[in-house]
């Protein structure tokens, strides 16, 4: 008997879509799913045909966090488990040299909320929601939620969301800056693909350096950011993409940033 893969992968027009595929559990994460998603992200990084990665969920949920049916009898401590599964996943995703879009199609809870927040771009369906659900089971927010959320909404709102585990709907998420765009449910997947294809047409090398600059700036000083920008700008300026952008501007045509290398 063959079982359904826990991650579905599909590449179209430079966009690699990775779909969490445990819909009857709202894509709650077991170890197989977490390790497979991390492996898929690494493979997408290495594949020159992939310019953008989309992470989304099958069915009505995005990800309901840790599969609570998968915990009892586990032969790892919580710390060991996080270091074995969630932390490599979030580090790989955030460190990817390509834009990652989290396409939040439904509820994102617990570590699923952290995953939803971890994208470079967060697109939500109208019926999606986010719950920092950890305190309902008397756990601490993990998988990066304590890093992402206060940077987005400030300490106090973050603490309230974590302490009360209140559900944030799409309208509120947009207002709070937890997502960039909200799309109707019935056209969500097409809108995500179209958005990701727009990103895929942008200059890949320059975006990779932009991610590096922003990620470093999130934890550094202005002086460090200025020095880092100056170093990265040299790398960008020496790349063919820059020449193409300037040439296209002067010729009054659209730049063509997708090229066999």
Contact 230, 242 (CB under 8 A): no
By beta-carbon proximity to ligand T3D, the closer residue of 107 and 200 is: 107
- Residue 8: Cβ-neighbour burial (10 angstroms; 0-12, 13-18, 19+): middle
Among candidate residues 19, 22, 142, the one with its CA nearest the CA of residue 87 = 142
Residue 50 found at the interface with ligand T3D (CB under 6 A): no
Residue 81 found at the interface with ligand T3D (CB under 6 A): yes
> Closest approach of Cβ 128 to ligand T3D, in Å?
12
Residue from 99, 110, 144, 203 touching ligand T3D (CB under 6 A): that is: 110
Residue 25 found at the interface with ligand T3D (CB under 6 A): yes
Residue from 43, 78, 175, 231 touching ligand T3D (CB under 6 A): that is: 78
Task: Mark the segment that binds ligand T3D (CB under 6 A) among 22-30, 120-128, 180-188, 235-243.
Answer: 22-30
Residue from 58, 64, 179, 213 touching ligand T3D (CB under 6 A): that is: 64
The count of chain residues that interact with ligand T3D, using the rule CB under 6 A, is 24
Contact 181, 123 (CB under 8 A): yes
Where residue 102 falls (left for φ over 0; alpha for ψ -120 to 50; beta otherwise) is beta
Tell the residue number behind the tokens 């971890």, with chain if given. 118
Residue 142 found at the interface with ligand T3D (CB under 6 A): yes
DSSP summary character for residue 123: E
Where residue 78 falls (left for φ over 0; alpha for ψ -120 to 50; beta otherwise) is alpha
Binding site for ligand T3D (CB under 6 A): 25-26, 28, 64-69, 71, 78, 81-82, 107, 109-111, 131, 133-134, 136-137, 139, 142
């Amino acid at each position: 008997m063959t079982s359904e893969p826990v991650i579905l992968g599909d590449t179209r027009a430079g966009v690699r879509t990775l779909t969490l595929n445990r819909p009857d559990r709202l894509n709650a994460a077991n170890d197989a799913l977490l390790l497979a998603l991390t492996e898929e992200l690494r493979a997408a990084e290495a594949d020159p045909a992939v310019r953008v990665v989309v992470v989304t969920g099958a069915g009505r949920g995005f990800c309901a966090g840790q599969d609570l049916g998968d915990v009892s009898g586990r032969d790892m401590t919580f710390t060991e488990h996080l270091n074995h599964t969630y932390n490599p996943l979030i580090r790989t995703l955030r460190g990817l040299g390509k834009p990652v879009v989290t396409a939040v199609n439904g509820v994102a809870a617990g570590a699923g909320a952290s995953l939803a927040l971890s994208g470079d771009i967060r697109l939500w369906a109208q019926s999606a929601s986010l719950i920092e659900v950890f305190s309902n089971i008397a756990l601490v927010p993990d998988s990066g939620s304590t890093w992402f959320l206060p940077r987005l909404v400030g300490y106090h709102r973050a603490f309230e969301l974590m302490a009360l585990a209140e559900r944030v709907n799409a309208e509120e998420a947009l207002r709070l800056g937890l997502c960039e765009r909200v799309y109707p449910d019935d056209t969500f997947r097409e809108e995500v693909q179209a958005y990701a294809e727009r990103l895929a047409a942008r200059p890949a090398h320059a975006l990779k350096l932009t991610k590096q600059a922003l990620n470093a700036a999130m934890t550094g000083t202005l002086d460090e950011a200025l020095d880092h920008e100056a170093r990265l700008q040299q790398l960008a300026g020496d790349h063919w993409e820059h020449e193409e952008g300037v040439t296209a501007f002067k010729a009054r045509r659209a730049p063509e940033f997708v090229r066999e290398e």
